[in-house]
Amino acid sequence: LLTGLLFPRSIRGLLRQKKRLLLNGRNIPTSELVSPGDKLSFSLETSDFSKGQNYLPNNDRRLRILSEKEDYLLVDKPAGMKMHPHSPNETDALLNYVEAQLKGHLSRSCPAHAFMVHRIDRDTSGVVIIAKNPLAVGILDQLLAKKRIKRTYLAWVSGNLENKKGSIDQAIAVDPINPYKRIVDQAGQKAVTHWTKIHTVYQNTLVRVSLETGRTHQIRVHFAAIGHPI
């Protein structure tokens, strides 16, 4: 089925509505079955790639670009900077600065814009992937979901962890008192965090962390739950 293609839902809808999806030269719906040897083609226009992108560019700060490809960037996000604005008029988020730095860049012969693929907390620093067009978002989303792109975190936690490595398997739910917070709650969503101890300094331990699941604030919630808050 064509619904299994690496297209974001918005792009699939666009191809369907504007009848730009062709199988062996004839227009088809996204529910069509394909067979070996079939030729599938589609077309996208410049306006398709900029539609829905509305981050105001801000040139006040230049972020460090670790790597740039035709369809995406790897950006060094500093601690204290939020990923995206929470209102249309905000301009102090990472995506506002990246949007300004992408001005004049081309992606697949179309103007490049900043599209968020994943996020890390405001207080967390690290590498984030920023897509340059909505088609790349769908492909990168699939690679993250299938663990083809692996993310590793480093965190200082309070106290001395006795074991060299371990896993935290505790469900996480929204705090009923504060919807912006998360708590351990067995009625919540499954969450698994794996950690390896690197070293301890003055009763604080540096750990390398990988996530089996990606719940909001998962690392913070899990280490607080075992008595070793970040």
At residue 134, does pLDDT exceed 90?
A: no
> Per CATH, the architecture of 50-145 is what?
2-Layer Sandwich (3.30)
Domain ranges of the chain: 2-43, 50-145, 153-225
Does domain 153-225 correspond to CATH entry 3.30.2350.10? Answer: yes
The pLDDT, as a whole number, for residue 17 is 74
pLDDT > 60? residue 1: no
pLDDT band per the 50, 70, 90 thresholds, residue 199:
very high
Our answer to whether residue 121 is catalytic in this structure is yes
Q: Choose, from 121, 123, 141, 169, the residue flagged as catalytic.
A: 121
pLDDT of residue 19: 79
For 21-25, 61-65, 93-97, 148-152, which range has the lowest pLDDT when averaged over its residues? 21-25
The b-or-e profile of 167-197 (16+ CB within 10 A means b, else e) is ebebbbbeeeeeeeebbbeeebeebbbebeb
For residue 75, the cross-strand partners are 65, 128
Give the mean pLDDT of 165-175.
97
- Is the pLDDT at 29 greater than 50? The verdict is yes
178: pLDDT strictly greater than 60? yes
Domains 50-145 and 153-225 fall in the same CATH topology: yes
